[in-house]
Structure 1
Amino acid sequence: MLHYSGTVYRPPSEAHSLIIQVTVGCSHNKCAFCNMYKDKKFSITPREQVLEDLRWARAQYPRVERFFLADGDALILPTDRLLEILGDIRALFPECTRVSTYASPKSILGKTPEDLSALHKAGLDFAYLGLETGNEALLQKINKGVTVAQQIEAGQKLKAAGLALSVTAISGLAGSNGDWQAHAMDTAKALNAMGPDFIALLTLRIYTGTPMADWVASGELVTPTPMELIREAKLLLEHIDCPGAVFRSNHASNYLVLAGNLNQDRDRLIAECEEALRGEAPLRKFVELGR
């Protein structure tokens, strides 16, 4: 069977992908809002184990078209190691149509344009990058470990190398008592500069044991109400200019489901926010912000 260490995470769109754990944990693992990968220390999976997993999967499954390279930042691996893994996937699974991974800005910036182009040519097709916010002060507060300019540069590097790019932002990250307007507008500005293929707007969740949970407990951060979150999403959409990007706010954390293609559906998405703010659209009732 496949070797998995600790809890394994993947994006919702990778639900039908075969997950191969080429690294364990997250190379940064210090973000104030995140409780993922706290059950393990970052390490690199030995190549022999990765190859064993791939061979086991080949013997079990007649067809595997999509792979997701876990854990939190597979791109931190040396380029040669990644090229070996991609080569193994293509050799064992010629039917493969897509290989994707999470990618941290630091790991992207640690690769040369030639590295990223080589990885794309070898079969790395898709990367997920967590922007979270385009506001400099807020990005530093949540301890993302990079500047907004570095986030933008990372996204642009992936795009220039030919990879499809999905970027996430977190609604409510500034709290209702923070500068949510700056968070929304600056995030839109950063997204515009990155030019992603996909934009996922998530909703802030508060997890026990994180610095952000301490901020909520002390009153430093007040979690937004559903209407405040929708107001913020509307402001972000009013400032987004990402032609061709697929926009989704349909994660389990979201109160209002929004889905469309930018920029053509932007006015409709804004109108749906306005309808919800007037109380004329149903909101998800099962979502809770904290736990």
Structure 2
Amino acid sequence: MHYEGNIIRPPSEANSILLQVTVGCSHNKCAFCGAYRGERFTIKKDDIIFEDIDFAAKYCRNQSRLFICDGDALIIPQKRLVPILERISQRLPWVERVGLYANTKSIRMKSDSELAELRQLGVKIAYMGLETGDDVTLKKINKGADSARMIEMGKKIRKAGIKLSITVLLGLAGRERSDIHAAETGRVLSAIDPEFVGALSLMLIPGTPMHKDFENGNFELITPDEMLRELGTMIATTQLTSGLFHANHASNYLPIRAHLPRDREKTLALIASALEGKVRLKPEYMRAL
């Protein structure tokens, strides 16, 4: 396989075939993210992509899922993305699910019929970084969309029959807007009603604008307990029809996996016990991105 730069994939795609179709991220401006700093976004040449698919056909016969890397594969023009998916279907007929990252810009660029076509060609899940539902924080982190656009595009991709996994980031708003960040994120998640929500805990990355703000005293990193309180508020205010809300990423202090609404009260009780010191939190040295 031909890999270039950082290969980023969701935790749930750990056992998937990783097919790199793009290099970098089409947005690459988020203040907290250092994954693709200094990396120019490009779409790889078809012959290299097809060669990697052929490689997977020979050596990846035990993997039933495929994830298209990198930062925002949905941005690929339909006329190029469709042949790639057709090639996957032809050469890897055992692959049951194709996943990719999406953002509001790339979702907006696809028509309803184009998204439906991608679904028919095997794209069954998209991963979108909401990070927060707080418009003030969204603007500050340079996410490129407000909460209304997040809701609109989240609903759009779900309407196409593509499952949606949304990422949110604990601690992102600092101490001053912590409660607002948590409650507004619950509001936006409820409006979109995704199948999956993944909560990560902020880890400052040297060289990013947010890390520089922290060093200059313009951003206050909240404590583990405060992150847990944010998580509790998010879970309490998130109304899902039937979704999985998990906070079991390596960055989190307290692993949580909750089906909402079924597990809401049990999960809030667990968080309360942790805040009372009755449940041990993950030590700092064991956290990772």
Partner in structure 1 of residue 98 of structure 2: 99
Range with bigger deviation, 8-17 or 55-64? 55-64
Aligned equivalents of 1:159, 1:40: Cα separation in 2: 30
Instruction: Summarize the Cα distance change of 1:234–1:70 in structure 2 as closer, same or farther, 3 Å threshold.
Output: same
- For residue 99 of structure 2, what is the amino acid of its counterpart? S
**Displacement of 1:148 after TM fit?**
1.0
Of 197, 201, 213 in structure 2, the residue corresponding to residue 199 of structure 1 is 197
Partner in structure 2 of residue 233 of structure 1: 231
Q: Deviations over 1:75-109 (max 9, x none)?
A: 00011211111100010011111100011111001
Contact 1:6–1:39 (CA<8 Å) still a contact in 2? no
Aligned to 1:94, what secondary structure does the other structure show? coil
Partner in structure 2 of residue 273 of structure 1: 271
Question: What is the aligned-residue identity percentage?
Answer: 41
Contact 2:57–2:92 (CA<8 Å) still a contact in 1? yes
Contact 1:64–1:93 (CA<8 Å) still a contact in 2? no
Aligned equivalents of 1:94, 1:236: Cα separation in 2: 40
Of 251, 255, 267 in structure 1, the residue corresponding to residue 249 of structure 2 is 251
Aligned equivalents of 1:169, 1:151: Cα separation in 2: 12
Aligned equivalents of 1:53, 1:254: Cα separation in 2: 34
Aligned to 2:226, what secondary structure does the other structure show? helix
Report 1:99-248 matches (<5 A): 99-176=98-175, 178-248=176-246
Q: What is the alpha-carbon root mean square deviation over aligned residues?
A: 1.4
Aligned equivalents of 1:59, 1:233: Cα separation in 2: 44
Aligned to 2:185, what secondary structure does the other structure show? helix
Unaligned runs of 5+ in 2: none
Partner in structure 1 of residue 66 of structure 2: 67
Contact 2:22–2:41 (CA<8 Å) still a contact in 1? yes
Of 231, 242, 262 in structure 2, the residue corresponding to residue 264 of structure 1 is 262
Runs of 4+, deviation exceeding 6 Å: 288-291
**Displacement of 1:62 after TM fit?**
3.3
**Displacement of 1:289 after TM fit?**
7.5
Aligned equivalents of 2:65, 2:5: Cα separation in 1: 22
Partner in structure 1 of residue 43 of structure 2: 44
Aligned equivalents of 2:31, 2:285: Cα separation in 1: 21
Contact 1:171–1:229 (CA<8 Å) still a contact in 2? yes
Aligned equivalents of 1:53, 1:290: Cα separation in 2: 29
Report the count of equivalent residues: 289
Contact 1:253–1:287 (CA<8 Å) still a contact in 2? no
- For residue 225 of structure 2, what is the amino acid of its counterpart? M
Contact 2:31–2:209 (CA<8 Å) still a contact in 1? yes
Aligned to 1:175, what secondary structure does the other structure show? coil
Range with bigger deviation, 150-159 or 127-136? 150-159
Q: Provide TM-score, normalisation by structure 1.
A: 0.96
